[in-house]
Amino acid sequence: MDKSILSKVYNLISLSRSMSALFEREKTTTSKYVHATSKGHEIIQIAAGIQLQKDDFLYPYYRDDSMLLSIGLEPFDLMLQLLAKSKDPFSGGKTYYSHPSLNNPELPKIPHQSSATGMQAIPATGAAMGLKYKEEVGLSKHNEDAPIVVCSLGDASCTEGEVSEAFQMAVLKKLPIIYLVQDNEWDISAKAEETRAQDISYFAKGFKGLKVFTVDGTNFQESYIALQEAIKLDIEERQY
């Protein structure tokens, strides 16, 4: 793998991990309220974020700090939101920490986030439907850089009904969307055995036509290659 990619990734991981350490420091005066960092999830998030283009749509969830850094946001941007400052690039300090929304011409687009877990699945699928429609009616061109949607989810949020509805529609309409599920086997205070009868890879395979990749999200090469393939598939499969 290209050494410049690996060195960029290493820097992003170190940056993200040091931000988590700072935010979680016991005596810190910066953040006393609840927020989840991306600790332990850095690699899969960065493998996804560095492959996104400016016209793609991203639906991250509250744990996706590393993904936000890897699409080009600065630690300062995330800190402005953490401290609810008016110059926060997401919502001018109006939304909860790590509930990003972004309309920067140079970065992937992030529609506004809800705090209810899994709620991003249906709007994200709708955005994919919109991308497909624009190509079908000639409002945008289909080429190898055609935009896609990435919807990031936690494992427990996938036990919710709306995620099933989103999967159903994505395969029925052959939509350009990747559901990136980060499985840490936890749902705040409940373990995987308490929240689900099977893991999400097994569950997702029940949706005929949904291509499922299962990777070790702490292995960069494996994560990067699977996402690269998923992005390529999404673009290739939508030939109208």
Ligand X SMILES: Cc1ncc(C[n+]2csc(CCOP(=O)(O)OP(=O)(O)O)c2C)c(N)n1
218 binding ligand X? (CB under 6 A)? no
Pairing of β 190-191 and β 186-187 = antiparallel
CB of 217 within 8 A of CB of 44?
Answer: yes
24 binding ligand X? (CB under 6 A)? no
Cα 55 to chain center, whole Å? Answer: 15
Q: Could you say which DSSP state residue 109 is in?
A: B
83 binding ligand X? (CB under 6 A)? no
Minimum distance between the CB of residue 41 and Mg ion, rounded to whole angstroms?
9
Which of 49, 118, 123, 154 touches Mg ion by CB under 5 A?
Answer: 154
Minimum distance between the CB of residue 156 and Mg ion, rounded to whole angstroms?
5
Instruction: Output b/e per residue, 11-39; b: 16+ Cβ within 10 A.
Output: ebbebbbebbeebeeeeeeebeeebbbbb
Which of 184, 198, 218, 228 touches ligand X by CB under 6 A?
Answer: 184
How many residues bind ligand X (CB under 6 A)? The answer is 14
In the three-class reduction of DSSP (H, G, I as helix; E, B as strand; rest coil), residue 57 is classed as: strand
Name the residue nearer to ligand X (CB basis): 37 or 70.
37
217 binding Mg ion? (CB under 5 A)? no
- Tell me how far apart the alpha carbons of residues 187 and 181 are, in angstroms, rounded to a whole number: 13
> Sign of the CA dihedral 74, 57, 112, 31?
negative
- Residue 16 binding target from Mg ion, ligand X, none, CB below 5 to 8 Å by type: none
Minimum distance between the CB of residue 192 and ligand X, rounded to whole angstroms?
9
Contact positions vs ligand X (CB under 6 A): 36, 63, 115-117, 154-157, 182, 184, 186-188
Contact positions vs Mg ion (CB under 5 A): 154-156, 184, 186
